Structure formats: C-alpha cells, structure tokens
Amino acid sequence: MSNTPTTSADVIRQFYTELERIGRVTENSTRIVNGTLRAQVAQTPKQTIWSLNKASLYHYYPQVPAEKRHRVPILLVFALINRPYIFDLRPGNSFVEYMLNQGHDVYLLDWGSPGPEDADMTFEDYALDYLPRAIRVLQRHSGSREFSFVGWCIGALLTTIYAAMRPNNGLRNMVTLTAPLDFSHKQEMGPFPRWLQAEYFNIDALLDQTGNMPGALIDVGSKLLKPVENYLGNNLRLLDNLDDPKIIEAWQAMNTWVTDDVPFAGAAYRQLIVEFYRENRLMAGKLRMQGEIVDVGKIKANLLNIIAEQDHIVPPCQSRGFLEQTSSADKRELRLKGGHIGIMAGSGARRQCWPQIDVWLAERSKR
Amino acid sequence: MTKSQSLETLNPFMMMRSLRDATLETWSKTAIDAVNTDLFAQWLGAYMNTSLAASAPIQRVLDQYMQAVLPRLNMPSRDEVTGVARRLTNIEMRLDDLDGRIDDILQAVRTEPAAPVVAEQSIAPVVDARLQAIEARLDTLLTAIQSISMVTPTQAAETPKRPARRSNRKPATPAEE
C-alpha cells in the first residue's frame, strides 16, 4: 500500500467499523425477535392439481419451452417428517427452481399434516394407496406414462416400496437421497437404534396417549443426536453473523423449515420403529404389504442412490447395500460430502449435488 | 504478519470467540459420545415413561370431563369429529376412484374413433386405385371376349351377357342398367 495508515488511525477506523457493525447487529436482532424479518420460503410458482385427505400434488410451472423440455416428468417425494418445501427452500437456493431451469417438468407430493383421524395410516396407505393415485394424476396431467422419482429420507423408503410393488407402472428412473432402507448395521447407525430398543422406548404407551407422534418430539429426538451443535452452536453462529444479511436470510429460511414440524401418523410411526428400526423387515425380505412380500429384487427402474457421507440421521450404512439387491440394469451409487439436509439444501448443493441429479435424469429422460 | 492481522490477534473479542469455539467443539464431541450410550437410552426411556405416567391421569380426567360437558353444550366430542373426518376421507377416496374411472373411459373414447379415421385416410385411396385397375382389366377382358364372340357367333350365343362392373363410388344410372 502506498499510504500506510498509522496504528492509531487503524484503531480509530476499526472502532468506527465496529460501531457500524453493532448498529446492524442491533437492528437485525430486533427484527428477528419481533418477527419482522421473515424468510420467504417455497416461492416457485405452482398449482395444486390433486388433493386427497391431507395430501396434495403440486405442478410447478415450466420455465423452458415445451420443445426443449425433458420428456419424463419428475415426482418429488419427501419424508413424513417436516414439510416438503425443503425442495424449494428459497429463491436462489431451490432444487425445484434449478431443475425447472434445466428443462425438467417437476411435480411435488405434499403429504400434509395428519390429524387425529389419520392415526391409523400406515406405510402401506402412503406407498400403495396415496402414491399410485398421485401418479395417475401426474400421468394424466403430463401426458407421459413414464415418470421419475426423487425420494428423500423416508420419502425414498416410500418410493422404494412403490418401485418394488408396482415395477410396471411407468417408473423409469428413481433417485434415492439419504434413504433409510437397511437397519441391520446397528453399531454404525448412531444412537437411534439404541434409544428405540423395546426395553427403553415404549412406543405403544406413547401412541396410546398421543395418537400421532408429535412433530415436536421427533424434532427433539433429531436435535439430541448433536445436542451442543443444535441447541448452542447454530444460535451462536447466527449471533456471530448478525451483520451479514445473506447469512441471516439463509439461517432464517432453514430455521423456518426446521421448526415447521408435522406429526407422524401413529400407525406408520409404530411401523417405522418396530418393522424397520427393530426388525429390518424390508432388507430381510419380510416386509408384507397388501398380502405380498415387498421384494426390492423386483425393482428394475434406473437407480441413482445418493449417500451423504456426514449424515448422522441416516448414516451411509443404511443404504449402501441397497443397489446390489435390485434387478436394475442401470444403477449408480453417488457419495457426496455433506449432512442429511445440507446435501440438498446447503450452500454447496447447487455446485455438488443438483447438477449430478440433473445430468443423470436428463440422460435417462429421452424418448 | 500485517497490521490488521496483528490487530485482530490483539482483539480481545476475537480471542474470546476462538476460545468459545474450541470449548464448544470439545463439549460437542463429549455430548455426542454421551448420548450414544445405553445409560442415556435408559434415562431417556425412563424420562418418557415417567412423563406419560404423570400425564395419563390428568388426560383421563380431562377426557371424562369433556365427554360429560360437550353433549350438554350440544357440541360433538372428539371421537365424533374424528369419525366424521374419517367418513369424509372415505368419500374423497371414492370420488377419486370415480375420477380415475372417468379418466379411463374418456381416454378410451378419445382413442377409439381415431383408428378408423386414420385407416380410412390412409387405405381408401389405395383400395380405390386397385379397384379401378381391376375394373380396367375386366373391361379389357370383356372387350376381348366380345371380339372373340364376333368371330365365333354360335359360341357367343351360348355365353350369357355380363354387365360391365362399375366403381361402388359411382351409382349406376338407369341408362347404364
């Protein structure tokens, strides 16, 4: 530098910079506390084309002309925990927006929030009753019998059940993201299998009182996996960056989604704990639905299984052996750096994960 | 080291932040290990059971009270509302089934007439051309037969006279008959 400032001038400049920062921090923290700094989530334009009970099927308005669009439409299926707008978190950081711009025709299935009257709903109802109905509407609306799945977390478990039970119903491609399919590696699965053992966790007593599994309890369970980071670290990181509008916006959007929890239908939750976590029925070939064994060996759609290497909720061991059990001729496993949610909704997803899904699907969505 | 870096190093807030982050990291690792134990799982289960046992009598009393009060206020109970909601869902399901069947029927109706139209458009000119060619040949044959019958009149008298074939598309006039 040509005119090097003196040390005292530096200190004064730093002092004023710090004062400005404190001003911004005060303003932003006040706005967060009084609720005027709200995150704009799920902003991509869409229309509801079907609804049944609490479930809805959305179609996002295409962003490219019909002649440049990929022929096979995509159906996004999220978990039964939290809301599916994580696929369309905020403008500029939305998987839906990205895929539309790449020429895909995108549909999203929203399971909704189950009420006390839905406490009897099971995985069978979701995968083999609601999902086929939504697919029928998608096929009619898009004019294409063939379609692709992008299933995330329990959404991937549901799409896997569907793919095994309805292999000839037009499913061409399936992307499974952080899918909890294999529950046999109890030692590698983190604390969940330990907490959910029958001798400690009385699922019947809980559901007898609550009907459905309250979303707040599921949220506490997930946060307890990394208690210090979730209850302290995240808030301190926000405190450190209260002068940065971009970081605040990202934090607000994610916090809105994390705290927007929904109950888990009671019967389905019991199934998740007993038939999946404790007995690993799907991979053991003992899961029965509509009187038939759910055989993943019958899956023949093209498969892309994406594993998040730092996933502490669904560790890699829960889906790494999945592809070998299927009959698909075209299958690929993709391991990416990131956590359970960060892999698709984090700041690096646009560079790392989304392009891979786009290219893989585009190559398999031609005539 | 630049001056700004040296200032940052001397900044007490930065030093406190670094210390805080290091402490949090240590706590985090310890906490992650602590929750992944049988002891924690046992405590979590015991905590949940105690909470459920404590809240169960209160919930039971509340339910009994509501069951007694709501009918007197001419209001439905939770079970009744839930029952109505279930029936609504069943009706919705049936409507969705009907919607699906109507779709199938409409699809069938839309596709059925399309096939003959396409067939007529593509096949009719070909058939017409072939019929005309056959008629032309028959006319040639008839002319040939007539010329032969003129040569041998006795044989021609024994052969019945056959009218010339016309295309189906042109109705025969009384004069031609």
Model pLDDT for residues A239-275, shown as the tens digit of each residue:
888 888 888 989 999 999 999 999 999 999 999 999 9
Beta bridge partners of A332: A304
Candidate from B20, B41, B56 with C-beta closest to A194: B41
Q: What is the pLDDT of residue B112?
A: 67
Given pLDDT bands bounded at 50, 70 and 90, which one contains residue B124?
Answer: low
Task: Please provide residue A201's backbone torsions phi and psi, each rounded to the nearest 5 degrees.
Answer: -110, 105
Record: contact B49-A10, CB cut-off 8 A: no
- The position carrying tokens 């930065």 is B14
Q: What is the pLDDT of residue B159?
A: 43
Burial class of residue A232 in the structure, from the number of CB atoms within 10 Å of its CB (0-12 exposed, 13-18 middle, 19+ buried): middle
Q: 3-class DSSP state for residue A73? A: coil
Q: Pairing state of beta strands A302-308 and A331-336? A: parallel
CB proximity A8 to B under 8 Å: no
Chain A residues within 8 A of B9 when measuring between CB atoms: none
Q: What is the pLDDT of residue B170?
A: 40
Residue A172 corresponds to which tokens in the numbers above?
């061409």
Q: Please provide the average confidence, as pLDDT, over all residues in chain B.
A: 77
Given pLDDT bands bounded at 50, 70 and 90, which one contains residue A31?
Answer: confident
Kindly identify which residue of chain A lies nearest to residue B17, measuring between CA atoms: A240
Output A37 or A328, whichever has higher pLDDT: A328
Given pLDDT bands bounded at 50, 70 and 90, which one contains residue A6?
Answer: low
Chain B residues within 8 A of A235 when measuring between CB atoms: none
Q: 3-class DSSP state for residue A291? A: coil
Q: What is the pLDDT of residue A136?
A: 96
Radius of gyration of chain B measured on its C-alpha atoms? 49
- The answer to pTM > 0.90 is no
Record: contact A10-B3, CB cut-off 8 A: yes
Output B147 or B62, whichever has higher pLDDT: B62
Select the highest-mean-pLDDT range: A39-43, A172-176, B104-108: A172-176
Kindly identify which residue of chain A lies nearest to residue B99, measuring between CA atoms: A137
Q: What is the pLDDT of residue B152?
A: 54
What one-letter code names the amino acid at B77?
Answer: S
CA–CA distances in Å: residue A296 to residues A165, A166, A268: 8, 11, 20
Q: Å from A351 to nearest chain B CA? A: 28
Q: What is the pLDDT of residue A334?
A: 97
Q: What is the pLDDT of residue B130?
A: 77
Which residue in the list A138, A153, A250, A341 is annotated as catalytic? A153
Candidate from A11, A140, A202 with C-beta closest to B49: A202
CB proximity A205 to B under 8 Å: yes
Q: What is the pLDDT of residue B168?
A: 42
CA–CA distances in Å: residue B47 to residues A62, A252, A278, B41, B53: 50, 32, 21, 10, 10
CB proximity B56 to A under 8 Å: yes
Interface of B with A in 100-119 (CB under 8 A): 100, 103
CB proximity A348 to B under 8 Å: no
Residue % of chain A over a pLDDT of 70: 98
Rounded CA gap, B157 and B177, in Å? 21
Kindly identify which residue of chain B lies nearest to residue A234, measuring between CA atoms: B24
Kindly identify which residue of chain B lies nearest to residue A143, measuring between CA atoms: B107
Q: What is the pLDDT of residue A36?
A: 78
Task: Please provide residue A143's backbone torsions phi and psi, each rounded to the nearest 5 degrees.
Answer: 75, 10
DSSP-derived secondary structure letter, B74: T
Given pLDDT bands bounded at 50, 70 and 90, which one contains residue B151?
Answer: low
Rounded CA gap, A41 and A94, in Å? 9
Q: What is the pLDDT of residue A11?
A: 85
Residue A160 corresponds to which tokens in the numbers above?
């896997």
Identify whether the C-beta of residue A150 lies closer than 8 Å to the C-beta of residue A125.
no
Q: What is the pLDDT of residue B171?
A: 40
- Residues whose CB falls within 8 Å of the CB of residue A170, separated by 6 or more in sequence, listed in order: A135, A139, A144, A145, A146, A147
Given pLDDT bands bounded at 50, 70 and 90, which one contains residue B160?
Answer: very low
Identify whether the C-beta of residue A49 lies closer than 8 Å to the C-beta of residue A73.
no
Q: Please provide the average confidence, as pLDDT, over all residues in chain A.
A: 93
Give which of A176, A231, A203 is closest to B45, Cα–Cα: A203
Q: Give yes or no for residue B126 having a pLDDT over 80.
A: no
Record: contact A11-B7, CB cut-off 8 A: yes
Record: contact A226-B32, CB cut-off 8 A: yes
Residue range B13-30: mean pLDDT, rounded = 90
Given pLDDT bands bounded at 50, 70 and 90, which one contains residue B140?
Answer: confident
Kindly identify which residue of chain B lies nearest to residue A230, measuring between CA atoms: B28
Rounded CA gap, A306 and B4, in Å? 44
Count chain A–chain B contacts defined by CB atoms under 8 A: 89
Q: Give yes or no for residue A5 having a pLDDT over 60.
A: no
- The position carrying tokens 């500029």 is A92
Q: Give yes or no for residue B158 having a pLDDT over 70.
A: no
Task: Please provide residue A264's backbone torsions phi and psi, each rounded to the nearest 5 degrees.
Answer: -105, 125
Output B88 or B4, whichever has higher pLDDT: B88
Give which of A238, A264, A258 is closest to A249, Cα–Cα: A238
Residue range B146-163: mean pLDDT, rounded = 53
CA–CA distances in Å: residue A344 to residues A83, A254, A348: 14, 12, 8
Residue range A13-26: mean pLDDT, rounded = 86
Candidate from B55, B93, B100 with C-beta closest to A136: B100
Candidate from A7, A191, A232 with C-beta closest to B3: A7
Give which of A292, A342, A296, A288 is closest to A321, Cα–Cα: A296
CB proximity B51 to A under 8 Å: no
Q: What is the pLDDT of residue B133?
A: 78
Residue A11 corresponds to which tokens in the numbers above?
């200190």
Q: What is the pLDDT of residue B14?
A: 81
Rounded CA gap, B92 and A54, in Å? 11
CB proximity A240 to B under 8 Å: yes
Q: 3-class DSSP state for residue A177? A: strand
Identify whether the C-beta of residue A99 lies closer than 8 Å to the C-beta of residue A40.
no
Q: What is the pLDDT of residue A1?
A: 42
Q: 3-class DSSP state for residue B6? A: helix
CB proximity A197 to B under 8 Å: yes
Q: Give yes or no for residue B7 having a pLDDT over 60.
A: no
Interface of A with B in 165-194 (CB under 8 A): 190-191, 194
Q: What is the pLDDT of residue A12?
A: 87
Residue A153 is a catalytic residue: yes
Give which of A192, A184, A132, A185 is closest to A158, Cα–Cα: A132
Output B99 or B117, whichever has higher pLDDT: B99
Question: Measured at the alpha carbon of residue B13, what is the angle toward residues B12 and B19, in degrees to the nearest 5?
Answer: 90
Beta bridge partners of A110: A56
User: Among the listed ranges A202-216, A258-272, B47-61, B148-162, which one has the minimum average pLDDT value?
Assistant: B148-162
